[in-house]
Amino acid sequence: MFVFRLRSATWPGYMALVLTLAILVGLPSVVLAADSQVTIVQPSDPMSLRYDPSSLTVTAGTTVTWVNNGSTSITITSPDGLFDSESVGAGGSFSYTFDTPGTYRYFCVPYPHMKGVITVSPRDKD
Residue 49 lies in a domain: yes
Does residue 38 fall inside a structural domain? yes
pLDDT tens across 39-87, in order?
A: 999 888 777 899 999 999 999 999 999 999 999 999 999 999 999 999 9
47 closest CA partner among 112, 121, 126? 112
Where does residue 109 fall: left (phi above 0), alpha (psi -120 to 50 degrees), or beta otherwise? alpha
Look at residue 109 and tell me whether its pLDDT is greater than 60: yes
On the question of pLDDT at 20 being above 70, the answer is no
Residue 19 lies in a domain: no
* C-alpha–C-alpha distance, residues 32 and 17, integer Å: 23
* Number of separate domains in the chain: 1
Range(s) of the domain holding residue 114:
30-121
Give the residue from 99, 95, 27, 25 showing the smallest Cα distance to 59: 99
In a domain, 16, yes or no: no
**Side chain identity at residue 3, one-letter code:** V
Note if the pTM is more than 0.85: no
Contact 75, 108 (CB under 8 A): yes
Provide the CATH number for the domain around residue 37: 2.60.40.420
